[in-house]
Amino acid sequence: MIENDILEKLKKANSPNWTSKDTEIALNAATEYFESKSFSLESSFNDIVMSYIREFEEKHTITFDFFVGKNVGQVAMFGDYYIDFDDIRLDIDKNVNESLFFEWYDITVSRALEEKPTVNYESYVMGFRYE
């Protein structure tokens, strides 16, 4: 196990026989350990994000195309819709009525094009409506 290997190397660092080669070995072991943790966190994050995307696709019968700028977990493209991942997560986590998302989206885009104030999806879900 990498953690034990790092510990053994660090224990040896206190010995009078520690060499620069031992330092190099310990640093390589630590780097490998942290890179593997980072990779597994990134994989887990991507898996979770894609689970939300699949749920959103199924719920709204739309097809996911890609993440803008290949930035997983930020803005997702579904056909002509650019959707912030936080809105997707809110929609799924709160089990919002199916029709509400696109009602909000269409009104918000129209208002933005007219340079009128808009409201975020969370506020709309909580009951805010335009006059």
Q: Tens digits of per-residue pLDDT, 56-110?
A: 999 999 999 999 999 999 999 999 999 999 999 999 999 999 999 999 999 999 9
pLDDT digits (tens, 9 = 90+) for 9-18: 666 666 667 7
Q: How far is CA 108 from the centre of its chain?
A: 24
pLDDT at 8: 67
Cα–Cα distances (Å) from 75 to 2, 81, 83, 117, 122, in that order, read: 36, 10, 5, 21, 16
Q: How far apart are the first and last CA of the chain?
A: 62
Q: Where are the alpha helices (DSSP H) in 61-77?
A: none
Report, as an integer, the average pLDDT of 29-52. 82
Q: How far is CA 5 from the centre of its chain?
A: 32
Statement: residue 1 has pLDDT above 60? no
Q: How far is CA 126 from the centre of its chain?
A: 24
Q: What's the CA gap between 91 and 54, in Å, rounded?
A: 13
Question: Does pTM top 0.75 for this prediction?
Answer: no
- Residue 47 in contact with residue 36, Cβ under 8 Å? no
Write down the mean pLDDT value for the chain. 88
Helix (H) / strand (E) containing 68? none
Name which of 87, 98, 92 is nearest 121 in CA terms. Answer: 87
Tokens, residue 116: 């009128």
